[in-house]
Amino acid sequence: MSKRQLVLDAFNNKPVERVPVGFWFHFADSGEFTEGLRNPDIIRKNIEGHKKFVAKFRPDFVKIMSDGFFEYPNPVLFNIESPEKLLDLKPIGPEHPWIEKQVGLVRTLTDSFGDEVLTFYNIFAPATYFKMLYEKTGNRDKVLADLTMQNKDAVKHALNTIAEDLSTLARRVITEGKADGIYLSVQNVQDSRITPELYNEVIAPSELIVLETANRHSENNILHICGYEGSRNDLNLYVHYNAKVINWAVNVEGISLAEGKKLFGGRAVIGGFDNRPGGVLHSGSKEEIEALTEKLIREAGKTGIILGADCTVPGDIDLKRLDWVRNKAKDLSSQL
């Protein structure tokens, strides 16, 4: 069975000959994440990193990283003097270099290995792109929450405008870039003032705009509920999001793969391993990694399960550790 078919069967809760695995990490340095438009070498670095990883590890599928494109380049957002200024925001448009170059990145990589494995392009939620513009403030979530408290309609307009550009990006990376879908990364606003009710009113609509567009062009899209650096999420906010596969931070939220699969109505799930430095995957022995692999599969079964991590794994991880997971999953799958 091809790896493409193996993963598609897992996505669709069909029997599989082995439980597939999926891990990913950055190919650029953190200081380069926003600099792709200003420094084309970062895009080339990202492309070459993916190609080397695929050649060496032969992954079951690939999440294509958007390293270099973390900054949504809409100048209206760079200096917000008042929340009302957000009402002036307009889309950057479908032919902006920020969109064009991401489509080119994806097409280059799918041309290289898209016939072998399924590919999914990373797209952050509108609120995440908004927050990343205020990374240097040291409390980007507070900035978004403050603005929401002052003028929630202006914030909703801004996020929906960003969503229009992200919808264009999602459509084009699938139809022109030939990705099999997107990996949409969402996250609760890490500020208690943004209640579930306020999240559903102001934040969620923009996320659903992007997801609904992706779903019109591919039925295989992944929802990632990001627990990066310990960020906590109310998973119940996302149970109605129409994504084929769900990935969340099992080790941050304390919700197992088996529990999450039930919460999301039996849909396929990805994860199980802690992605953080010092965790079993990054630093444990072969025996510890194999034991955790077995525990995860015995708890969750092998139908509609893809073993992976809570989020992006450290870039210095030894690829043999990922192979230990895959090989143990293969051995167990033949026994169960």
Q: Are 42 and 4 in contact (CB under 8 A)?
A: no
Residue 20 token pair: 């597939």
Which residue has better confidence, 137 or 333?
A: 333
User: Residues 144, 147, 149, 154: is their CA dihedral positive or negative?
Assistant: negative
Q: 295-299 long-range contacts, Cβ below 8 Å, gap at least 24?
A: 296/257, 296/272, 297/19, 297/329, 297/332, 297/333, 297/336, 298/332, 298/336, 299/256, 299/257, 299/258
For the chain, the domains span 3-335
Cβ neighbour number for residue 51 with a 10 Å cutoff: 15
Residues 6 or more apart from 143 whose CB is under 8 A from it? 131, 134, 137
Q: What is the mean pLDDT of the chain?
A: 96
Can you give the pLDDT at residue 254?
96
Query: What's the confidence (pLDDT) of residue 52?
Result: 98
Own/partner contacts of 14-18, CB < 8 Å, gap of 24 or more, are: 14/303, 15/303, 16/302, 16/303, 16/333, 17/333, 18/302, 18/329, 18/330, 18/333, 18/334
SS3 17: coil
Quote the distance between the C-alpha of residue 167 and its chain's center. 15
Kindly report whether the global pTM for this prediction surpasses the value 0.95: yes
pLDDT, tens digit, 9 for 90 and up, residues 3-21: 999 999 999 999 999 999 9
- Quick one: what percent of the chain has pLDDT higher than 90? 93
Distance, CA of 291 to CA of 284 (rounded, Å): 11
Instruction: Flag whether pLDDT at 136 surpasses 80.
Output: no
Residue 336 pLDDT exceeds 80:
no
In which band, very low, low, confident or very high, does the pLDDT at 137 lie, cut at 50, 70 and 90? confident
- Burial class of 111 by CB neighbour count within 10 A (0 to 12, 13 to 18, 19+): exposed
Per-residue pLDDT of 21-73, as tens digits, reads 999 999 999 999 999 999 999 999 999 999 999 999 999 999 999 999 999 99
Task: For domain 3-335, give the fold.
Answer: TIM Barrel (3.20.20)
Name the β-bridge partners of 181: 120
